[in-house]
Amino acid sequence: MKNTRRFYSGLAIAAAVTGMFLAMAVPAGATATMKDTNVEALIDKAFAGTITANEKSILINNYPEIAAVIPDIPGASSGDMRQEIDSTAREAGPVRGTNCYVYSGWNTFKSLLGFTIYRFDHKATVCSDGAKITSHSSPAFELSQLDPTVANWTVTDKYVEGVGSTQSKSRIQVRVTQCILQYGCYSNTYPTGTIIANKNNTATITTEI
C-alpha cells in the first residue's frame, strides 16, 4: 500500500464534490455538516488502509454519506479481481505466420458501503510468430464508473519489455485522487495493470488496486 497524501484545493474541492451530495440518496443517519476531527481521523485511516472493523461501523452507522465514498481498501485488494483474454479482438499479424491478440483486464474499487468508486481497465496488443514475441503495444487504460469524488488521475509508471524474446511484459500504473467535501483530497490508490505474454499466444493478466 502506498503512502497517503492529503492536500486541500479550496473552491476546486467544493466544485468537484458538491454535486455528489445533491445527486445521491443518503441513508438515514448523522451528517457531517462541519469538519469533525474524529471523522477526519477515520477518513485518514480508511485511505491508509488501517481502519478497524469497529471504526468502519462508526462511519457506516453515523456518517453514511462519508462511508459511501471512502475506500474499503482491504476489500478492494483481496476481491473483485477479474482478468480476461479478449479473443474477439484477435487479428492477423502483419507478417505471415504471426498472430496478434488484445489482452485486457479490469478491477473495481469499492467504498465502505459497497458502491463503486471507479473501474480500472487496461489492455495491450501482442503479436507472436510462435517462436518469439514480435511486438507488444504500449499499455492503454480507462477509468470509468467514476464517483464524483474522483478529482483527477495521472500515469505514474508505464513500460514494455521483452519484445524479441519468448516472453514480454507491459505494466501501467495510475495514481487516483479523491476529494472529500470539507476534509480535503487524498491520493493513495494506484490501480496497476500487468500483462505477461508468451510466445504461444497465452498471457497472465493481473489488475491490482
Q: Beta strand pairing status for 5-7 and 192-198?
A: unpaired
Per-residue pLDDT, averaged over 16-43, amounts to: 55
Q: What is the pLDDT of residue 194?
A: 94
Per-residue pLDDT, averaged over 170-177, amounts to: 96
Residue 183 has pLDDT above 80, yes or no: yes
Residue 8 has pLDDT above 70, yes or no: no
Residue 96 has pLDDT above 80, yes or no: no
Give 158-172 pLDDT, tens digit per residue: 999 999 999 999 999
Residue 20 has pLDDT above 70, yes or no: no
What DSSP string runs through the chain?
-PPPEEE--THHHHHHHHHHHHHSPPPSS----S--HHHHHHHHHHHHT---HHHHHHHHHH-HHHHTTSB-HHHHHHS-EEEEEEEEEEEE-SSTT-EEEEEEEEEEEEBTTS-EEEEEEEEEEEEE-SSSEEEEPPPEEEEES--TTEEEEEEEEEEEE-TTSSEEEEEEEEEEEEEETTTEEEEEE--EEEEEEETTS-EEEEEE-
Q: What is the pLDDT of residue 182?
A: 86
Q: How far is CA 137 from CA 65, 72, 110, 201, in A?
A: 41, 33, 30, 14
Average pLDDT, the chain: 79
Residue 87 has pLDDT above 60, yes or no: no
| pLDDT class of 28 with cuts at 50, 70, 90 | very low
| pLDDT class of 84 with cuts at 50, 70, 90 | low
Q: What is the pLDDT of residue 189?
A: 86
Residue 195 has pLDDT above 80, yes or no: yes
